[in-house]
Structure 1
């Protein structure tokens, strides 16, 4: 098998792998790098332009895995796209939101390349996207080679619809973990991957730099979150949870609903808004149709969720003594969570509680790195304030801890292992451990754009 990482920057960004297996060219994911803009945010798709592409596989619907999909589908008009049946229910809504965000960015920041695709184009492409049930084998024949491969999706935890990908050609088995979490989340069961030998394993490495002994149990972290919310409300403050729309919002809402149902959450107004609220209906549908997740949209009514006030004023605390669950998760500039935080941070009664990964270069990452009393600039909101509010992080990652992932890799005893989706220190840890524990395996940490014979 040949493999090229088309993610220009490597690390975690515009995830995109080109595989050549038995003469078939297969693209796995086609994401958008959240740190870049315009064409620079896409994978290096120029490498595909002169090549026929037999199949596009999508592992899950986070934008770092699907954000450039319409671009590559436009350039390869006959290539089918396959994903899990749950991802198929989500993908158009995620892409439409991305198109709207890019259109707004073009107007506000004058980015010439944006939007990379339109709502109308998503509508035109929808017929080429197909869903496949977990555990169901599907055969694909190459247009030019005539060779045949078999594809099977396996539940990967992480987020609704996330899939590990098993590819079989004759007696050869290749497995791609995609983004994976083996631990059960509140609404998404943990990964159920096949055990036993694979010839090649392509694996994510996101948490390779985080010692497993430092990771708190998910249930304990949610209990700590509820306790912190109660404390904040009782001292007259407001609690902001900057939230990721796909997966994290629905999980947090479910946990908050459980806490209220069992009398563990103080009474207070709860405001929730953003794409995550739209996705509540989609998660409800996935739960009913596939039974792969456990979610019910009735929590919106049970929690008496209120929409965010129409006009949030930057730098002003609304003083609602409320819980806010709003996007974006990294508190990106010009999002509701950023605007609201600019008014909350300067008051000791308030708390900002992060429940997901924050890139150090984003406002969320910068706030987490700040100390009480530091000056903090909300640049595009035009607000500079002292950090007086409590700023907390709750360990609720959607990615497997490194020991679980290492254990899976070692039991698979592959001949070759390819490292993806991780920063340099994370990959280095996996590379060292795998070399030590599987001395006969070839461990590859691919340089972007280079072709590897695996």
Structure 2
């Protein structure tokens, strides 16, 4: 048995891993690197011989895990792809949007490798996707089986337990152990796990000991209310998948509790609407904290009109939850901010991670009164509104992940999905707390014996 990291580097990038049990060859995820383009955005899939894989698992629908699944499937034409039904719905929408983005980049940036796959090919490949229920074991081969467990990270996210030849190998994918506003926390196995393959995203980011999600929601509500009371509007840049739906659910709660005026208009835009439709299709799933709550039916949400560069117009006294979360150039949140952040009555409220080099990251580093360039095609603009940052991460804290590793007490741990400082923090902690556990930060392409 061996494990191989197919990512190009030890980082949060194009996640993909090969697991060979001797009886079954399995690829876990196949992502697209969010900061690279063309072939450099693809995992090292050339390490996996053509048509040599027995099964592919997609743990969840974020681009860094799902973005090159069609490329992998093309090279592995007989391998079924397993995921939850919710992941299938979200991933299909995401990948079709990815085709559109790649087509634009081919035209505007001259990246001739794009698109890596097309709409018709994607529609055909989706026919090989197989939906699995969580906590139901499925036989992959005569001696190897797999079971999915709710990962709590996003709707449909799941960890994968592989059992073969008396060994139990568990790949977590991305994890959130705490209940979020809409999605319940992970329900992971802890017994008799020999090898644990686990994410380390927040290993270099300790959380304040006084933090609670309830208090963070209170702070967000207060910031919105202050903005409305001074006659401004709140712009909340959000990722279309996951963060949009979490924020809308918070706003729904705030209105139900009478904490913000019920008549306050809420606007969403970009890919968010399509993703929210999928979330609503799975309103009755057990992973939803508020059963049968349908965002687009139970809330008065304005979705704007199609076909315009900025389909939503500014108005005072409103909340704008617009994608993308990092305010990437030419997205609705970026275009909207161009004429929004110079108004001192407004507020810009961040609820998720932003890469320091992204427009959102640069705004966070800009002092009020200074100028910021959101898009090279537009003039710089003065940042003259309050900017606040809130912690609603979909990733588990480093302490909760470490606690889980200690409870599992595996013989072997592979630390993945983390930048070097994050993974090294876990490695140091495990060495001190579980000295009998073999702890590995797997180098790309190298094979490790289980």
State the TM bucket, normalised to the shorter chain: over 0.9
Counterparts of 1:132-151 in structure 2, within 5 Å, are: 132-141=132-141, 148-151=143-146
CA deviation string 1:393-449 (max 9, x = no partner): 110000111111111101111111000111111111100000111101111001222
For the 8 Å contact 2:283–2:294, the answer to whether it is kept is no
- Once the 2 structures are TM-superposed, how far is the Cα of residue 302 of structure 1 from its aligned partner? 4.6
Hey, what's the Cα distance between the residues in 2 that align with 1:252 and 1:296?
17
Q: 1:405 aligns with which of 401, 405, 409?
A: 401
CA deviation string 1:103-145 (max 9, x = no partner): 222223222111111110111111211011001001111xxxx
Q: Is 1:171 paired with 2:166?
A: yes
Q: Is 1:341 paired with 2:337?
A: yes
Could you say which residue in structure 1 is the equivalent of 2:235? 240
- Once the 2 structures are TM-superposed, how far is the Cα of residue 170 of structure 1 from its aligned partner? 2.7
Partner SS, residue 281 of structure 1: helix
Hey, what's the Cα distance between the residues in 2 that align with 1:381 and 1:185?
38
For the 8 Å contact 1:22–1:148, the answer to whether it is kept is no
- Once the 2 structures are TM-superposed, how far is the Cα of residue 156 of structure 1 from its aligned partner? 0.6
Q: Is 1:70 paired with 2:65?
A: no
Hey, what's the Cα distance between the residues in 2 that align with 1:176 and 1:53?
17
Hey, what's the Cα distance between the residues in 2 that align with 1:200 and 1:259?
43
TM-score normalised to structure 1 length:
0.94
Could you say which residue in structure 2 is the equivalent of 1:159? 154
- Once the 2 structures are TM-superposed, how far is the Cα of residue 280 of structure 1 from its aligned partner? 2.0
CA deviation string 1:168-195 (max 9, x = no partner): 1132111111100110112111001112
Which of structure 1's runs of 4+ aligned residues deviate more than 3 A? 212-215, 294-299, 308-314, 316-321
- Once the 2 structures are TM-superposed, how far is the Cα of residue 152 of structure 1 from its aligned partner? 0.5
State the aligned residue count.
Answer: 447
Could you say which residue in structure 1 is the equivalent of 2:219? 224
Could you say which residue in structure 1 is the equivalent of 2:385? 389
Counterparts of 1:183-332 in structure 2, within 5 Å, are: 183-214=178-209, 216-266=211-261, 267-288=263-284, 290-293=285-288, 294=290, 296=292, 298-308=294-304, 311=308, 318-332=314-328
Q: Is 1:94 paired with 2:83?
A: no
Task: Give the gaps of 5 or more residues in structure 1.
Answer: 142-146
- Once the 2 structures are TM-superposed, how far is the Cα of residue 52 of structure 1 from its aligned partner? 0.8
Q: Is 1:444 paired with 2:435?
A: no
For the 8 Å contact 2:175–2:186, the answer to whether it is kept is yes
- Once the 2 structures are TM-superposed, how far is the Cα of residue 292 of structure 1 from its aligned partner? 2.6
Give RMSD over aligned pairs.
2.0
- Once the 2 structures are TM-superposed, how far is the Cα of residue 361 of structure 1 from its aligned partner? 1.6
TM-score normalised to structure 2 length:
0.94
For the 8 Å contact 2:270–2:331, the answer to whether it is kept is no
Partner SS, residue 46 of structure 2: helix
Task: Give the gaps of 5 or more residues in structure 2.
Answer: none
Q: Indicate how the Cα distance of structure 1 residues 51 and 74 shifts in structure 2: closer, same or farther if over 3 A, else same.
A: closer
